[in-house]
Amino acid sequence: MTERTTPPARFAAMSPDSGPVVARLFHAALGLVFVIAFASLRVQLVPLLGTGGLAPVAEAVAQARPGGWWATPTLFWWWSGDAALRGATTLGIVAGALALAGVWPRVFLAIATLLYLSFVSVGAPFLQFQWDSLLVECGVLALLLPRDRPSPTAHLLLLFAAFKLYFESGLAKGWSPLGDWWDGSAMSYYYETAPLPGPLAWYAHNLPGWWHALESRATLVLELVVPFLLFCGRRGRLVALVVLTGFQLLNLATANYGFFVYLALALHLFMLRDADLLRLYARLPGRRAWGRVLLPREGVPAPRWPRLRAWLLSGFAVVYLVLSLATARVELGGRAGPWAAALQRHTGQLHVFNAYHLFAQITRVRVEPEFAAYEDGAWRVYDMHDKPGPLDRAPPLVAPHQPRLDFMLWFYGLGARRAPPGYVRRLLRLLCEDPARAQYFFATPLLPRPSHVRVQYWRYTFTRPGEVGCWRREPAAPERVMTCTKGQVMR
């Protein structure tokens, strides 16, 4: 095999900002994220979305049929049984793994993207997180990236995707009616009230107040200013890379957001040039194995119909930019005209032209629902695997897995005084009628035939240094007690 440790000379004529090495590494990284996303979904698939689950896909498909396929683009129109759901996640894992290995990566990324869109389209409420849409968007944009020749337009679109992820989130924070990012109070609540805090969240929360005020305002600067460095040449992008990567590593250490951080870090690859990656490649052990992933083949023939390809790519770029801006105007609270609302309404279901508003407002109170069942004169409390429960249990490291019911119950706790949403009512019914099906969600063994089930609400706060345990709690809302009778859950 020819020595390949000095490839920069071979690609000296290529544009340094649109090279195939970045494209190849992004394809591999995105394949890995798809493997993580599908594997995480598969282990909780049937209890969440299967027949008899908390939000069955079959019911979502039946409700969506009057609107047609374009309104709800999913492969489950034709088969939505448990076997189909399992098969789709398994195929998604295989497709992501093949893309990671460099086997027809654009073909298998297209398959993985279509499969994931199929779940997102009918997986409400459990697949409606912003990073689910971001994964679909990145999957589509990855198909534009050639692996053996430069493509400045495709690279610019993915750099723009990274830009809007941060900048639009910064705009949403700046426009928050609470003003908590401007007054410096947001981060004093963030670590305590994140949906699933991470192992270092307790320590971060107990830092001094002046530090939280600095963090809050620095986050605004980071998201509103630093993204513009992506378009300020190589030095600007390297500065943005260091700052934004540090920001994501902090997220990784203090909270669990599934695969989101890993997907964001994959987008950071477009802040690098091929030359940067090739210098790193020259220092790697086992360069030959890495070379199969990173280095393009020599003597690649010129593409067919180059002008047609260029026109099609340019046309998609214009559509992508226009629809992304229209979506941002609608979803970020701007003055959206009827044209923007119409565009967003007819394309939003594709999850390609997204707007992002991560943590626009920080929740100041953490209310957790606690489930229990009654049998033989005593209540048994059911602890969940990853949510705050026992006061001495430290926040766990869960990511890149995302326990989606645990996430959604965080939202439910915020509206504890309202009627339970459909998935909570189904969970209560399972606790009464079929505890074995609900056991997946709980660490505590469930009672086989309870006479009552209960939801009790607690306000959780972190302890201070010197206090016992990680949490303290107090009642937060009236409890709900349900009677299990004749196969129904009744008030």
The stretch 13-38 carries a mean pLDDT of 84
pLDDT band at 482 (very low <50, low <70, confident <90, very high): confident
Mean pLDDT over the full length of the chain: 89
Beta partners for residue 411, in sequence order: none
Decide: helix, strand or coil at residue 179.
coil
Share of the chain above pLDDT 70, in %: 89
CA 110 centroid distance within chain: 19
Strand order in the sheet with 378-382: 378-382, 366-375, 452-462, 471-485, 488-490
pLDDT band at 334 (very low <50, low <70, confident <90, very high): low
pLDDT tens digits, 189-245: 999 999 999 999 999 999 999 999 999 999 999 999 999 999 998 899 999 999 999
The stretch 277-300 carries a mean pLDDT of 66
Question: Cis peptide leading into 400, omega within 30 of 0?
Answer: yes
Q: Regarding predicted confidence, which is higher, 162 or 8?
A: 162
The stretch 450-470 carries a mean pLDDT of 94
* Rounded CA separation 155/141 (Å): 9
pLDDT tens digits, 103-127: 999 999 999 999 999 999 999 999 9
Q: Please report the DSSP string for 307-333 in residue order.
A: HHHHHHHHHHHHHHHHHHHHHHHHHTT
Q: Residue 51 — φ and ψ, nearest 5°?
A: -60, 125
Predicted TM-score (pTM) of this structure: 0.92
Share of the chain above pLDDT 90, in %: 70
Q: With 70 as the cut, is the pLDDT of residue 89 above it?
A: yes
Q: With 90 as the cut, is the pLDDT of residue 159 above it?
A: yes
For residue 227, the one-letter residue type is: P
pLDDT tens digits, 30-55: 999 999 999 999 999 999 999 999 99
pLDDT band at 294 (very low <50, low <70, confident <90, very high): low
* Rounded CA separation 268/282 (Å): 21
Q: With 60 as the cut, is the pLDDT of residue 308 above it?
A: yes
Q: With 50 as the cut, is the pLDDT of residue 10 above it?
A: no
pLDDT of residue 106: 96
